Structure 1
Amino acid sequence: MMKNIKRFSAVAFIGIFILLLNSCDDNSELFTTSAPTAPNLAELGFTDIELDAVNTNNPAITLNWAEANYGLQTSTNYAIQFSNDAEFTAPVVAATTTGRTTITLSVNEVNAAAGNAGLNPFEWGTLYARIVSSLGTQNGVTSASNSIQFRVYPYFNYTFDDYFLVGNGVAPGWDNDSANQNPPLFRDGSDSNLYHYTGLIQNGSGDYNEGRFKILESTGMWQPQWGDSRNEGSDDPSESGDIAGNPGTQSGDPGRFGVTSTGYYTFTINFATRKYTLVPFDATGATSPSSLTIQGSSTADVTMNQLSFDGHLWYAKSVRLTPGDVKFTTGAGTSWGSASSFSGVATAGGEAIPVIVEDDYDVWFNDLTGRYILIPINL
């Protein structure tokens, strides 16, 4: 037995020595490239394209180009770039492909590229396109094609998600489309995954099943819905925890958020980290303005309504807003605003809130926190 072990060890040692010897004798070839011949992008068969906001997955344009020549046999990477100027001062990459010389982009892809390139929605604008070739996983040795141009009429691409409260602890009760309004969560102005809600949550009896709520993605629909990651019955009211969703994370409905006593609370939920907090908010001495009006260049004056459940929440339904700006003006003449479109935190004397696209909006304002949200109905 000992002889067999020694024989195996000797053979293994010889094998390792040969492997090391071969590794030191590197006969691999060094590839070099000549100055590349740039790809050549073919002209389109049209000059104008109006993008259809309904059939967004339909093909919009097909780009064809002659391949770049690097003087060696290797797959070439291609990036499809768009810009709002012929110099491609700030190009955006709409798509990439490897080893191909044609690509078809959908209506949604061209619309997103046009928006990212700085073209305004619902206006004709000129979009420039080119192909940039490169080699390897590090995209080295780049070479840009000629550019072509065409006019495009983009629609607005509303990329945000909106969420609404439902439950016996909040205004609508367990009614997913209440005439009393399902209050929205207020999306953070700088983090589109982060949402806030500060307001009254009721649990007058202290019962385990009271003071509860969940989050809906659309009013009138029970799914998608979000709640506590624990199952109902094990979802003791908590100041923090994990969230779960049907169908966001699972096929069954999640548990409920909740409080043990009536009061004002701040609820914060992050859909990226899937965490939430629900902590008391001190509203002692807080008073609401006698009235609140939406004013600005985007609309005639619109009087807002106080939510009967919680008078610190104000809303106006189906307000037609055109490109321009708005502020929230109190009965005492104080105006609240912010430079953040769609959602943010307004301050007294702050900038006017930009309205960048025309639509009918549900507008909400919280006078405890200054948070506001403009939810487009048709985008």
Structure 2
Amino acid sequence: MKKFKNISVFSIIGLVLLCLSSCDDTTDIYSVSDPSSPILAELNFSQIELDANNTNNPALSLNWVESDYGQQTAINYAVQFANDDAFTTPVTASTVTGRNNLTLSTSEINAAAGSAGLDPFTWGTLYTRVVASLGSQNSESVASNTLQFEVYPYYNYVFNDYYLVGNGVVSGWNNNANNPPLFRDADNQNLYYYTGYFANAGGFDEGRFKILESRGLWQPQWGVTPNEGDDNPAESGDIAGNPGTQDGDPGRFGVPTAGYYQFTIDFSTKKYTLTPYNNAGATDFSSIEVQGSSTETTTLTPLTIDTHVWYAAALHLTPGDVSFVTNTGSTWGGSTGFSGVATDGGGPIPVIVEDDYDVWFNDLTGRYILVPLNL
């Protein structure tokens, strides 16, 4: 016992001496001086007209004098763009570490211009700067001088469009027969809807459908996780896709009987719902027209199996607006371009870029979608 106590006393003394020694050791403390700002070299041009046919071509090369942090360390540089010289809402186009130059392609500049809020097909001012920082937390950041130039962006259509195919819908199992599109949520570009009539002639394989990403192509396609033959109709479940989640084709969505249903699908959560929809009391319009400054008045066509879903194929629209006008004189409009929910008496739907569009309108829900064919 006495030997044990002596060892303990000496151990404690050693620990105290070690602590006193190490507490005064500051050799591992890292300090930096106030960093100097990076300095962007002036541009040798004042305008860039972006070419939508050569999106991979280099469009802008930036060079800068590096920041000095008083230490030999790798410095991060973020290349930012904005529509004002205060960089109220900066857009980071790219980041590099340990370099003082960067070349951006036409598509990268176009995306930055769009994200910064510049309109397509018109000249606008784009501001750029480089922001230096240290470490994974981007600490001790300091911005460079600001440069500006005029840019003429093209439109970058960032949305995905999806189409119905199957014997439960009007197109049948034909992947290129004016297949109805899903209606995209205006606030969540991963969420889609379709409310309408689904056919079912009777039998296990009837009332079925899948989702295509491109009309005329069988892949990519989306359906349910069970394989075909085990794909019993269900009101909700997980989705699967070829090649989105697997190499083989997914199973089929399905309705147990013919009637009106509301279908929702979320490509971020990979979930769907398919539930009966009560259309009792819905107005049966005899005609609906597209009107507005973007087009000549055009009469829409209802689907043969569902007179509540209307369309016009390849309708040429110019920048301006459109509304849906019924035979009763009601005018339906919305505030969001490309897709959204129209209301009776709502404002006109904005059209921001000229193109040929497939225009679809659902008078049960007010949902609309304008699908550009060439963007």
Q: 1:286-305, aligned counterparts within 5 Å?
A: 286-305=282-301
Q: State how 1:174-189 maps to structure 2 within 5 Å.
A: 174-178=173-177, 181-189=178-186
User: What amino acid maps onto 2:154 in structure 1?
Assistant: Y
Q: Does 1:358 align with 2:357?
A: no
Render the CA deviation track for 1:205-229: whole Å, top value 9, x for unaligned: 2x11110000000000000100001
**Shift, 1:333, TM fit:** 1.1
Residue 23 to residue 90, structure 1, CA distance change in 2 (3 Å) = farther
Q: Which AA in structure 1 matches 2:22?
A: D
The yes-or-no answer on 1:306 pairing with 2:305 is no
Segments ≥4 residues shifted beyond 4 Å: 20-24
Q: Distance in 1 between matches of 2:281 and 2:36?
A: 73
Query: 3-state DSSP class of the match of 1:219?
Result: coil
Q: Counterpart amino acid of 1:319?
A: L
CA RMSD of aligned residues (A): 2.1
Q: CA 1:32–1:203 in structure 2 vs 1: closer, same or farther (change >3 Å)?
A: same
Aligned-partner SS, 2:216: coil
* Structure 1: runs of 5 or more not aligned: 1-9
TM-score (norm 1): 0.91
Q: Distance in 2 between matches of 1:229 and 1:25?
A: 61
TM-score by length of 2: 0.92
Q: CA deviation at 1:23?
A: 11
Hey, what's the Cα distance between the residues in 2 that align with 1:290 and 1:210? 30
Structure 2 stretches lacking a partner, 5+ long: 1-6
- In structure 2, what is the Cα distance between the partners aligned to 1:349 and 1:334? 7
User: What SS class does the counterpart of residue 110 from structure 2 fall into?
Assistant: helix
1:86-145 per-position Cα deviation (integer Å, ceiling 9, x unaligned)? 232322111111111111112111111111112110111221111111122221222111
* Alignment partner, residue 272 of structure 1: 268
Query: CA separation of 1:58/1:229 partners in 2, compared to 1, >3 Å: closer, same or farther?
Result: farther
Matches of 2:18 and 2:253, distance apart in 1 = 66
Counterpart residue identity of residue 117, structure 1: A
Shift in CA distance, 334/34, structure 1 to aligned 2, threshold 3 Å: same
Going from structure 1 to structure 2, the CA distance change for 1:197 and 1:22 (only over 3 Å counts) comes to farther
* Partner Cα separation in structure 1 for residue 335 and residue 343 of structure 2: 10
CA distance in 2, matches of 1:184, 1:319: 16
Q: CA deviation at 1:22?
A: 6.9
SS where residue 192 of structure 1 aligns? coil
SS in 1 for 2:222: strand
Determine which of 190, 195, 208 is the counterpart of 1:193: 190
For 2:125, the aligned partner's letter is T
Partners of 1:63 and 1:24 lie apart in 2 by: 50
The 3-state SS of whatever aligns with 2:119 is: coil
Match of 2:366 among 348, 353, 370: 370
Q: Secondary structure at the match of 1:29?
A: coil
Matched, 1:97 2:96: yes
Once structures 1 and 2 are overlaid, which stretch shifts more, 89-98 or 369-378?
89-98
Q: Percent identity?
A: 62
User: Letter of the aligned partner of 1:136 in structure 2?
Assistant: G
Between stretches 163-172 and 133-142, larger displacement belongs to: 133-142
